Structure 1
Amino acid sequence: MEYIVSARKYRPMTFDSVVGQSSLTTTLKNAVKSGKLAHAYLFCGPRGVGKTTCARIFAKAINCQNPTQDGEACNSCESCKSFNEQRSLNIFELDAASNNSVENIKTLMEQTRIPPQVGRYKVFIIDEVHMLSTAAFNAFLKTLEEPPAHVIFILATTEKHKILPTILSRCQIYDFERMTVANTVTHLKKVAEKEGITYEEQALELIAEKADGGMRDALSIFDQAASFCQGSITYQKIIEDLNVLDVENYFKIIDYALANEVSDIMLLLNSILAKGFDGANLINGLSMHVRNLLMSKDAVTLPLLECSEQQAQHYHAQAQKCPTKFLYQALKLMNQCDVNYKQSGNKRLLVELTLIQIAQITQAEDKDVPVAGRSPKRLKSLFHKIIKSQPQQAEQVAEVETMPSPQPVVTENPLVTENPSQQKVQTLTGNSTNIKSEPNSSADPKYKLGNIGFTFNDIRKGPEKPTYQKEPEVKDQKATNKFSQEELELQWMSMCNRMPQQMVGMASRLKNAIPKITEYPAIEVVFDNNILLNQVEKIKGRIRVTLANALHNAALTLDFRLAQGEEIKKILSKREVFEEIRTQNPAIERLRSLLDLELA
């Protein structure tokens, strides 16, 4: 017996059997009952939610000779039988992904002229209609707007934004929704019962989450799981078969982070990576877990979680233990990790550091006194213990001024940090002729001069003096060469292209500002925002000297000002620039049309 996959075997044949699209199917049934049918429909939505299926059911119901009172096809008339046996001459399906040329559309238009032999309408179902070329869309427009009375078009697409507005305006648009986890699980239960397969509800929920709103994907995963589990689908087998990270790992990481157990998180991370899971998947999954915890803080938002009732209660219980600030900070850290992951040279280290930072969010600052009856477990504390456990040579230390200092060498030498609120006056103690103390002496490493970024040489030299950069001068003070507007713009662009790498952002913005000769040799540059104007004012002298040298005119003057309201022009996109050129030059439009070109 031929095996048929569940997505085809259990494909809905009536409106009532369609899952998760009740509002759309009700509208279509009412249209069939009332006989008020539009000439063109557009079904759009994500993959695997029933667009093509509803198009076929609708096409069969339109041509049914004895529709039911609910608007369903009777499945007993000649039209319904021919459709079910795939020999109908009134319903045509076209895959626009492989038939997207003008010739294919012209062939289709010729078929619309022939009236139906059986039934009232000829129905044309065009799947993946967004794949049609622009020329094919234009050839389709006239017929779509005024088709013959016996023709109905049903278009289906997953990318509505790629369809021309002129097409959209001629269709009734139906937006299909993603399948919810609850609807998917309910349908999978029915399929499992018909197939005689036992299951765990948690396993079906995992399949529904993995399908990400697509019923066809859910049924494909279900078939794979049924084959692997040999008739008994369990949660553990699904995790093994789909190579999915168990959600319990996320619960453990959050529990460890709240308890500041860095070492336990590192061991759990190592076991996860050893199973072949990618660090990026772990961070993304943990981010989704923390998002669910935020939604679970309030019982009112629990329905926003796409999971079972039991799992929702688990989220709610852990959310009550998590401070809201902790969840926000954890999301921020994981977002930064996700952004930097692809560019990171050591991806595992990046993930480890992120998890360590998450585990430190609720950690109190290190103190000598244990916090809440326990010793601090921050990574910094571990480093302190390692340093103290190793024999060290005592170094000259900087002590706080309040400590006893019987023979100070330097009595007043402030070490100023960048943050004024953290400034401390510190003194050097000890004998200036004996830099090193006895080998057995020990000191707290956090008071070492090296740890605060200073050495004795830095103290002797004193603060660094700011370097002075001399302003450039015009090479030939007597040069008075004439220059035109074109030469000015050329040298301006050349100057922008030669600007150093650290000024590449400013250079790109300067290219949009066009200098103009007002009263020769006076030059004016207008900027459209005050921030750029303030930045450019700082290098105005250098820009004037550069232009004067390039144009060989020492009398050249330069003036910057802010644009007035009527002077600010919209910056055109590439498509808008192309449309403007095409409008002004018909030859370019003819060339584009002949070669069937499109702007990428």
Structure 2
Amino acid sequence: MIDSESPGLGLDLPAQPLEKSAAASPYRVLARKYRPQSFSELIGQEAMVQTLANAIASGRIAHAFLLTGVRGVGKTSTARLVAKALNCIGPDGQGGPTIDPCGQCEPCRAIAEGRHIDVTEMDAASHTGVDDVREIIDAVRYAAVSARFKIYIIDEVHMLSKNAFNALLKTLEEPPAHVKFLFATTEVNKVPVTVLSRCQRFDLKRIPAERLQAHFARIAELEHVEVEAEALAVVARAAEGSARDGLSILDQAIAHGEGQVTAAQVRDMLGLADRGRVRQLLATLLSGDATAALAQLDEAHALGLDPAALMRGLMETVHAVTRVKAGASADVLSSAEERAAAEELAGKLGWASLHRLWQLLLKGLADVGQAPDPHEAAGMALLRVIHAAELPDPATVLAQLQNGATIAAAAPAVSPARSTAATVASAAPPPPPSFVDLVEQLERSGQALLGLKLRDQVGLARYAPPELALKPLKPLGPDFPRELAAALKSLTGATWTINLSDGEAEPSLKQQEDMAEERARAAVLAEPSVAAALAAFPNATLESVSRPGA
């Protein structure tokens, strides 16, 4: 790490005169002050460092590197470290490329201070045109002035225009031996494959929260700031794998806490304290009180809370409850009160209720993002959540239809307060008496494709509910038994066993229908009156056979 008493080692500020007082020095945020100065300080990227070390040790150094990953994981810092590693000459001036640059030789110090003439860093976001790239192409022909390699670092390379990429291709494929390209990007999918194929790619990983927490703890110690371990865990979790984001949050937390940082202060600073309002709104939704829910939405709107943020907060709460119900560990961003509330709801809500809640809120979030008035869309979404609680679930509707019962309001799939409401009193429906009846009921339930396969593509070997043995007459696909068992369970409420074999079996229902039709045609043609009519009219044919009442 860079000590605060060692000015000039950072990559963003030049060396300051030693006689300059600390009070007069400009404040450097933690993300700049503690930027990695060696590969040993680059946390969470051990695999990439090992690959680079092996390449440098064996002399197999690529001419172009592409570094990709989310913001703040160290892409640009890594590019600068590679530049130092390739150009380091050691304290005695006799060293070669190394994965551990000395940091003392002139190339190392000049690169660290951003003043080396042979290391050019360009921001592609502000230099997107072909003319900017043409300057690089013209310059690569000349040897390095003082360094071993002339290095070009292009940050956010995906921002280059199509023409700029095309202009760079030939030089990128066959650059002079003294030139190395280092590209960094957060959106590698926007980089043309023609460029990707010419680079050695490194995907920098999100830094694990545990590593970030330990990293932030060391920085807090260097800054002489007391930070609770739980507060560091909250900062690390909120950073989402980005060291720079985490240091920015820590910087803000230190200012917020005036030298002493607690978990409660960090949660309040991040706006996590507003989750209490979200939990209250969710409880109102579950109670089915539409008036109160709209009143709470209006209150949140008056306080400036974004409707989309409110919907996301509700989804986060439902997700937290689902994690608790599944037995997963609680999120460190959650307070003890939030965890207790999640455990309580997990005990009241079933899996079907949680899944329905999630889908309704997800649809509501999409509506809020598309509607002309997000506040109105949020209100309609909340009302939809409340009234969906009164709808019976699909399994209940199907069971009632099979029993000829009138569809009544089932137990709500959302509201725990109404969990003792009307339930289906009838027993589970009996299985269909025959295979033909089973196929017909399956088709009436909306499973037309499965019904078609059972009619046309299989022969019945055994029908003993809940066991069904079939002989495939045509390819059915690997998922057919699983899909059929799931459909039959939804239809009958029983767990079915589906066996496919090549043994003896009846013809398919379609074949049986065809054979029955042929027998009917033959019987009609054998009638004396029909035979006489066909004899009198030689060109006449029997088009169809209809049964009485058909």
Q: Identify the TM-score tier after normalising by the shorter chain.
A: 0.5 to 0.7
The whole-number CA distance in structure 2 between the counterparts of 1:151 and 1:70 is 17
Query: SS of 2:89's equivalent?
Result: coil
Contact 2:76 2:155 in 1 (8 A): yes
Q: Which moved more, 1:246-255 or 1:102-111?
A: 246-255
The whole-number CA distance in structure 2 between the counterparts of 1:191 and 1:98 is 33
Q: Deviations over 1:84-134 (max 9, x none)?
A: 343323322122222333332222123222223444322211112122222
Q: How has the CA–CA distance of structure 1 residues 208 and 331 changed in structure 2, closer, same or farther, with 3 Å as cutoff?
A: same
Q: Which residue of 2 aligns with 1:104?
A: 132
Q: Which residue of 1 aligns with 2:48?
A: 24
Which residue of the other structure, out of 126, 132, 144, is the alignment partner of 2:160?
Answer: 132
Q: Which residue of 1 aligns with 2:29?
A: 5
Q: Which residue of 1 aligns with 2:226?
A: 198
Q: How has the CA–CA distance of structure 1 residues 249 and 157 changed in structure 2, closer, same or farther, with 3 Å as cutoff?
A: same
Q: CA deviation at 1:171?
A: 0.4
- TM-score normalised according to structure 2 size: 0.58
Which residue of the other structure, out of 76, 92, 97, is the alignment partner of 2:104?
Answer: 76
Q: How has the CA–CA distance of structure 1 residues 31 and 296 changed in structure 2, closer, same or farther, with 3 Å as cutoff?
A: farther
Q: Which residue of 2 aligns with 1:38?
A: 62
Query: SS of 2:312's equivalent?
Result: helix
One-letter code aligned to 2:368: Y
Q: Which residue of 2 aligns with 1:47?
A: 71
Q: CA deviation at 1:8?
A: 0.7
Q: Which residue of 1 aligns with 2:465?
A: none
Q: Which residue of 1 aligns with 2:3?
A: none
Q: CA deviation at 1:47?
A: 1.8
Instruction: State the superposition RMSD in angstroms.
Output: 3.8
One-letter code aligned to 2:176: P
Q: Deviations over 1:269-295 (max 9, x none)?
A: 565445431222111121123223334
One-letter code aligned to 2:131: E
One-letter code aligned to 1:333: L
Contact 1:68 1:74 in 2 (8 A): no
Q: How has the CA–CA distance of structure 1 residues 142 and 343 changed in structure 2, closer, same or farther, with 3 Å as cutoff?
A: closer
Q: How is 1:402-481 mapped onto 2 (pairs within 5 angstroms)?
A: none
The whole-number CA distance in structure 2 between the counterparts of 1:293 and 1:302 is 11
The whole-number CA distance in structure 1 between the counterparts of 2:229 and 2:359 is 34
Q: How is 1:226-265 mapped onto 2 (pairs within 5 angstroms)?
A: 226-254=254-282
Q: Deviations over 1:357-391 (max 9, x none)?
A: 546777799xxxxx9xxx9977xx9xxxxxxxxxx
The whole-number CA distance in structure 2 between the counterparts of 1:89 and 1:144 is 21
Q: Which residue of 1 aligns with 2:115?
A: 87
The whole-number CA distance in structure 2 between the counterparts of 1:364 and 1:306 is 36
Q: CA deviation at 1:23?
A: 2.1
Q: Which moved more, 1:90-99 or 1:322-331?
A: 90-99
The whole-number CA distance in structure 2 between the counterparts of 1:354 and 1:226 is 39
The whole-number CA distance in structure 1 between the counterparts of 2:41 and 2:334 is 23
Q: Which residue of 1 aligns with 2:143?
A: 115
Contact 2:137 2:171 in 1 (8 A): yes
The whole-number CA distance in structure 1 between the counterparts of 2:348 and 2:96 is 56
Q: Which residue of 1 aligns with 2:367?
A: 340
Task: State yes or no: 1:328 paired with 2:355.
Answer: yes
Q: Which moved more, 1:240-249 or 1:187-196?
A: 240-249
Contact 2:234 2:332 in 1 (8 A): no
The whole-number CA distance in structure 2 between the counterparts of 1:134 and 1:99 is 13
One-letter code aligned to 1:319: A
Query: SS of 1:130's equivalent?
Result: helix
Query: SS of 1:246's equivalent?
Result: helix
Contact 1:92 1:123 in 2 (8 A): yes
The whole-number CA distance in structure 2 between the counterparts of 1:92 and 1:27 is 24
Q: How has the CA–CA distance of structure 1 residues 272 and 240 changed in structure 2, closer, same or farther, with 3 Å as cutoff?
A: farther
Which residue of the other structure, out of 306, 325, 329, is the alignment partner of 1:278?
Answer: 306
One-letter code aligned to 2:125: A
Q: Which residue of 1 aligns with 2:502?
A: none
Query: SS of 1:187's equivalent?
Result: helix
Q: How has the CA–CA distance of structure 1 residues 363 and 50 changed in structure 2, closer, same or farther, with 3 Å as cutoff?
A: same
Q: How many residues align?
A: 371
The whole-number CA distance in structure 1 between the counterparts of 2:337 and 2:143 is 57
Identity over aligned pairs, percent:
36
Contact 2:231 2:263 in 1 (8 A): yes
Q: Deviations over 1:472-493 (max 9, x none)?
A: xxxxxxxxxxxxxxxxxxxxxx
Q: CA deviation at 1:329?
A: 0.9
Contact 2:125 2:159 in 1 (8 A): yes
Q: How has the CA–CA distance of structure 1 residues 27 and 264 changed in structure 2, closer, same or farther, with 3 Å as cutoff?
A: farther
Q: CA deviation at 1:260?
A: 5.7
Contact 2:88 2:98 in 1 (8 A): no
Q: How has the CA–CA distance of structure 1 residues 159 and 73 changed in structure 2, closer, same or farther, with 3 Å as cutoff?
A: same
Q: How has the CA–CA distance of structure 1 residues 13 and 290 changed in structure 2, closer, same or farther, with 3 Å as cutoff?
A: same
One-letter code aligned to 2:220: A
Q: Structure 1: any 5+ residue segments left out of the alignment?
A: 366-370, 382-600
